[in-house]
Amino acid sequence: MSSPLIGVLALQGDVREHRAMLERAGARSLAVRRPREVEQVDALVMPGGESTTMTRLARTFDLLEPVAGRLREGLPAFGTCAGMILLADRIEAGVAGQETFGGLDVVVRRNAFGRQVDSFEADLDVVGLDRPFHAMFIRAPCVEKVGDGVEVVATVASGNRVGRIVAVRQAHLLATSFHPEITGDSRFHELFVDMVDGGRASADRSTTS
Ligand code: GLN
């Protein structure tokens, strides 16, 4: 099996850093700005940025429906920070009428840890990783509620609250509140590439049997 081609939604945010991490994790990468690029990829990363701007740009570039459609068909996706918001089925503290691609059965609260000054770093225990992951949170969202099919992958303590959910997985979808592309640790991207490879291997088996 050739290495998967993973798109990075290139409307805003750390596109170059995500592509570098994906390539370190053994995938090929493509900047995605057009509907035909959405059709080409085996999976998609949605970077951080400003979720309201990103959905507005996605609409302008005619990407909202094509991406939402591929997610419904099972396209693997990894959303980081604003990208987590874009994957969520429901948002709290969004702007009126804020749209998302959807697919992830969670409620996500925007700016859950406060404003820019409340950006922080933390070492997280992560399901599936043997050592803690150093995470950078920048005006980060957090997951307030998860549906039945959603696994909590990491939590963080903040202020007097413990167990705030900051990484989740649901079948082919992965999302983090933080920015794994900027700390030089590619283990989250490796987890995602493994998810994508696993899905492709089972699709191969079902077409050959
Ligand atoms: N606060 C931003 C939003 O709501 C997300 C911040 C980020 O991606 N670093 O879209």
How far apart are the CA of 86 and the centre of ligand 1, in A?
A: 10
Beta bridge partners of 161: 158
Does residue 103 have its Cβ closer than 6 Å to ligand 1? no
Q: What is the CATH number of the domain that holds 78?
A: 3.40.50.880
Q: Are 100 and 69 in contact (CB under 8 A)?
A: no
The helix or strand, by DSSP H or E, that contains position 82, with its residue range, turns out to be helix 82-87
The pTM of the full predicted model, rounded to 2 decimals, is 0.95
Q: Are 139 and 118 in contact (CB under 8 A)?
A: yes
- Could you list the residue range(s) of the whole structural domain that residue 174 is in? 5-208
> What confidence tens digit (pLDDT) does each residue in 3-21 have?
999 999 999 999 999 999 9
pLDDT at 50 over 90: yes
Q: What is the mean pLDDT of the chain?
A: 94
Does residue 48 have its Cβ closer than 6 Å to ligand 1? yes
Which atom of ligand 1 is least distant from the CA of 140?
6
Q: Are 116 and 140 in contact (CB under 8 A)?
A: no
State the pairing for strand pair 161-170/151-158. Answer: antiparallel
SS3 158: strand
How many domains is the chain partitioned into structurally? Answer: 1
> What confidence tens digit (pLDDT) does each residue in 127-139 have?
999 999 999 999 9
Q: Cα(118)–Cα(31) distance, rounded to whole angstroms? A: 30
How far apart are the CA of 52 and the centre of ligand 1, in A?
A: 9
For ligand 1, atom 5: residue with the closest CA: 82
